[in-house]
Amino acid sequence: MPKYLLIMRGTDESNAAMMADIDEMMATTRQFIEEMVKAGVLLAAEGLDDPGQGVVVDFSGEAPVVTDGPYGETKELFGGFFLVDVASKQEAVEWAKRVPAAPGSKIEVRRVPGSDEVPQVDE
Amino acid sequence: MGTADVEAVWRIESARIVAALTRFTGDFGLAEDAAQEAVAEALVSWPLASPANPAGWLMATARRRAIDAIRRRAALQDRYALLAADLAVDSAVDEGIDPDKIDDDVLALMFVSCHPVLSPEARVALTLRVVGGLSSEEIARAFLVPVPTVQARITRGKKTIAAAGVPFELPPAAELRERLGGVLSVIYVIFTEGSTATSGDRLLRPDVAHEAIRLARTLAALQPEEPEVHGLLALCELTAARFPARTGPDGSPILLEDQDRRLWDISAIRRGLAALAKASTRGLGPYGLQAAIAATHASAPSVEATDWDRIVVLYEALGRVAPSPVVELNRAVAVAMASGPAQALAIVDALIASDRLPGSHLVPTVRGELLARLGRRPEARAELELAARLCANQRERSVLLRKAATLS
């Protein structure tokens, strides 16, 4: 069964909307997680801290450059993920539609290839 | 929305919808028919106009079809039946899925689908169809049988449930453990069909195995206090973790000793070990013990570095709680690794003397291996050739013949 990562991408506005009623958001998210567990599809789920607390390690130059704060000029920031084990891409999309996401945010659905699909390097 | 989208929603919703409909109609067969009608309607209407709430649409449509069926049935009977049906229907129409009851209802659905009055084939077909949300075509593909065969098993199964008057409820406490064992064995049968295909030209059918893992996860979420549910889940996860290393690029099987352990799925091993920890709270049952054996392999860097003494002890324990000639044979393999082939050969010969595994290719396979290790090459070759003649899986057969040829 293929695995998919449901990547939550929020904007400053959607993050602010979510924080405004964080208790409600936490409760609906817990309920959603429970639903996925009972359906036998959830492998992992995590949410990330405020992007302002993050650090960026930039490999553009010869040596990595470390800067504080959110990643570049990107408007949509990675805020958390659900890793699901489902029958099809369509099922992953159907679960993505059910994520209790704040208005303005987006969810990117990406397939995780199996370990037998990744080219192996012989040593 | 296309066919695949309808199927995706159905995969997620089937158990809840059939469970809720069975709860309010009291009729498992009628509920399943109504749910299938709703899916058929969705396949026609969703491509033209996608509903805003696909799950709600399916539930509402299935409920309407169930009510239609009850009315049709009542019309054939007397006025009192009609009144009774109307009462039941009216009180149920406003009811969607009751979040407090739905978990028990999905669980009850698993118990009905795996009920002992059903034939083993019907249990598998009904469980995959109503709990797993697979179509008859998908089930037929999984078990390499014709679609009409699957349809007949489902139809007969529903009739059997109705004729036996199987109630839609959780089994009484006194029967729960035994009935749960029945559900676990159906899930395990589905898993083994995917992990060691009994026929055909492919050794593994991972999609079939994963359906079983999904069912086991659902059961573990609904029955978290039952150690053997976690034991089964652990066994499936740990066995499936080795799938990527179990076949070569051409689909031929690779034995445990030759597998590239770097290909094992580390995340699946981690999930399996976590499930095994939950299974170990009160002494391991048969599934938990098999999972513990799989965990010992999963934690070993190589065949040589495997804790074979521990595996022997686990097989001895398994032989006590679930005696079987296959367990005895596996114990012999472990003893060969722990203490040498001579002791193991004595176990295998005792097994042959008692004739408890007649016609199985596994006995001559193991005996041939042991004889080869003891340097008794002509006898070893004869055993492996016998094993090849008895083996139904083409992939396994060619491995046996190759090995026999190296002994000439």
> In this predicted structure, what is the pLDDT of residue B144?
85
Q: Spell out the residues 6+ positions from residue B248 whose beta carbon is closer than 8 angstroms to its own.
A: B254
Residues of B in contact with A43 (CB under 8 A): 267, 271
A120 and B217 within 8 Å at the Cβ level: the answer is: no
Kindly identify which residue of chain B lies nearest to residue A92, measuring between CA atoms: B8
State the 10-residue block means of pLDDT for chain B, 408 residues long. 93 95 92 96 95 94 92 70 54 59 94 96 96 93 91 96 94 93 96 76 82 97 96 97 89 87 94 96 92 97 95 97 93 96 96 90 95 96 95 86 91
**Considering only residues 181 to 220 of chain B, which have any Cβ-Cβ distance to chain A shorter than 8 Å?**
206-207, 210-211, 213-218
Size (chain A), residues: 123
Cβ(B26)–Cβ(B116) below 8 Å? no
When CB atoms are compared, the residue of B9, B210, B221 closest to A94 is B9
> pTM of the full predicted structure?
0.89
Q: Does A40 touch chain B (CB under 8 A)?
A: yes
> In this predicted structure, what is the pLDDT of residue B88?
55
CA B10, A86, A112 angle in degrees (round to 5)? 150
Residues of A in contact with B8 (CB under 8 A): 87-88, 90-91, 93-94
Cβ(B170)–Cβ(B111) below 8 Å? yes
Q: Does A20 touch chain B (CB under 8 A)?
A: no
Residues of A in contact with B218 (CB under 8 A): 38-40
**Residue A123 above 50 pLDDT?**
no
Q: pLDDT averaged over chain A?
A: 88
Residues of A in contact with B105 (CB under 8 A): none
Q: Does B104 touch chain A (CB under 8 A)?
A: no
Domains contained in chain A, CATH given: 3-112 (3.30.70.1060)
B12 and A93 within 8 Å at the Cβ level: the answer is: no
3-state per-residue secondary structure call for chain B:
CCHHHHHHHHHHHHHHHHHHHHHHHCCHHHHHHHHHHHHHHHHHHCCCCCCCCHHHHHHHHHHHHHHHHHHHHHHHCCHHHHHHHHHHHHHHHCCCCCCCCHHHHHHHHHHHHCCCCCCHHHHHHHHHHHHCCCCHHHHHHHHCCCHHHHHHHHHHHHHHHHHCCCCCCCCCHHHHHHHHHHHHHHHHHHHHHHHCCCCCCCCCCHHHHHHHHHHHHHHHHHCCCCHHHHHHHHHHHHHHCCHHHHECCCCCECCHHHCCHHHCCHHHHHHHHHHHHHHHHHCCCHHHHHHHHHHHHHCCCCCCCCCHHHHHHHHHHHHHHCCCHHHHHHHHHHHHHHHCHHHHHHHHHHHHHCCCCCCCCHHHHHHHHHHHHCCCHHHHHHHHHHHHHHCCCHHHHHHHHHHHHCCC
From A102's Cα to the closest Cα of chain B, the distance in A is: 18
Q: Does B44 touch chain A (CB under 8 A)?
A: no
Q: Does B279 touch chain A (CB under 8 A)?
A: no
What amino acid occupies position B143?
F
Please tell me the least confidently modeled range out of A5-9, A64-68, B337-341. A64-68
Q: Does B101 touch chain A (CB under 8 A)?
A: no
> In this predicted structure, what is the pLDDT of residue B96?
60
CA B125, B130, B134 angle in degrees (round to 5)? 70
Cβ(B372)–Cβ(B352) below 8 Å? no
